[in-house]
Structure 1
């Protein structure tokens, strides 16, 4: 079986027609080139060159072998380029799973900027509730996950990327726009768009902000922050969402005020513990850490005290 190095040496001799020139191109000694050609001829059972003075004249068989070998080197060059792209994190496949608020608010600008400089990277983005997110990571259907206030989970690393807070969202001109911060008492006289009782964001609010009166004022209950904002935008009633949803993209025609006392919520990355990450995954997580989409989520200020 011929080695790749033998083919490489043969190819260079075919180009230069002398062992000395081939040796200089390959940065080896001239005897090393001569020995490689003789070993190749011995292995295949026939001569590849006629020796004419100091020059090597390829036989017709050598010319055919040379043409056939070009496909091997073209494939090798493509492979080498792909390896180099992986080294610079400019290619690869990344499977991301997020809870809906993070998928809607954080991922679009981060992915846009990330693939903008890495056109050969392929992103698979899935949006799931927290149980589905855990399942995707644990069954390796996803490489990395992002969620708001996820619980600790054995076998997964939970990295806090930023600290957001819950805010009140309402249409421009609403009486709540006169407030610097919104208390539970401020909302007592308004119909509200709230989250389903079992939803993660409702669980954040129910212990220290939502009371029986506010729950009775719920004219609509939803599962996702995007739908809560759309209903508030339509004038159905104020709603309570995370500041990541409020800040990222400014896509809703709404005004926002922080809650008092402040209701904090963590933006977290989750990935499998004790398992090396793909290079493209590490690069993407770095991009999320430095994202401008995270930079403004606490812009409403801390209202405690």
Structure 2
């Protein structure tokens, strides 16, 4: 069977028509090229060139071999280009999974900025609840996850990249608009849109801000903070959302105020513990860490210094 090096030598001889020219292109000696051609002829069982003076004239069989071999070199050069692109993190596949607040606010712009200089990268983006995000990273159906305040799980590592906070959201002109910050006492008497019991935001608020009485008097219960904002837009009640959801493209016709005392929320990357990520994954996460997209999360909703 012919080796790739033999085919490469044959290809250069076909192009230069001399062993001297091929040797120069390959940076080997002229006798090495002559010996390689003789070996090829012995292996294939027929002559490849007619020797006329210092020139090598390809036989019809050699011409056909040359045309057939070009497909091999095309694939080789394509592979070399892809390897080079991967080395520069300009190609590859990246699978990202986020909880809805991160999918709505962070992921689209982060992906856009990353792909702007890397047209060869293909991104898969999925959004799931926190248990689904952890499972996707754990089972390798995703390379990396993003979530707010994720629980710990063996085999996974959570890295905080920013702090957000919980803010109060209500329609413009609401009485709470006069507040610099909203306390639990300020919410008394106002219809509330809250979260189902096992949601991460509900569990965080349940540590001291939202009372059982407030939960009992809630006018609506939702799963996602985006839905909470949509309901609040209708004016049926006041809601509490993470600042990522609140600042996502200024898409909600709502006014926001921070809570007092502040209710911070960690924004986290989730990866498999002890593993070195793909080059494209590492480059993307470095981009996110350096990004200004998360600036202002902790202060979002502040109307004055207080």
Q: Which residue in 1 is equivalent to 2:253?
A: 253
Q: Which residue in 1 is equivalent to 2:10?
A: 10
Write the mapping of 1:14-53 to structure 2, written as runs, cut at 5 A.
Answer: 14-53=14-53
- Deviation of 1:304 (Å): 12
Q: Which residue in 1 is equivalent to 2:275?
A: 275
| SS of residue matched to 1:93 | strand
Q: Which residue in 2 is equivalent to 1:290?
A: 290
Separation in structure 2 between the aligned mates of residue 204 and residue 82 of structure 1, nearest angstrom = 45
Normalised by the length of structure 2, the TM-score is 0.94
Note if contact 1:190-1:217 (Cα within 8 Å) is conserved in structure 2: no
Separation in structure 2 between the aligned mates of residue 37 and residue 299 of structure 1, nearest angstrom = 73
Separation in structure 2 between the aligned mates of residue 234 and residue 290 of structure 1, nearest angstrom = 37
- Deviation of 1:287 (Å): 2.1
Q: Does 1:85 align with 2:70?
A: no
Q: Does 1:202 align with 2:199?
A: no
Separation in structure 1 between the aligned mates of residue 153 and residue 97 of structure 2, nearest angstrom = 16
Q: Which range moved further: 128-137 or 154-163? A: 128-137
- Deviation of 1:211 (Å): 1.4
Separation in structure 2 between the aligned mates of residue 154 and residue 146 of structure 1, nearest angstrom = 17
Normalised by the length of structure 1, the TM-score is 0.95
- Deviation of 1:142 (Å): 1.2
Note if contact 1:188-1:217 (Cα within 8 Å) is conserved in structure 2: no
Q: Which range moved further: 141-150 or 210-219? A: 210-219
Q: State the Cα RMSD in Å.
A: 1.8
* Superposed CA offset, 1:55-96 (max 9, x none): 111111111111111111111111111112211212222221
**CA distance 1:248–1:296, shift in 2 (3 Å):** farther
Separation in structure 1 between the aligned mates of residue 53 and residue 21 of structure 2, nearest angstrom = 15
- Deviation of 1:159 (Å): 0.7
- Deviation of 1:292 (Å): 2.7
| SS of residue matched to 1:194 | strand
Note if contact 2:264-2:298 (Cα within 8 Å) is conserved in structure 1: no
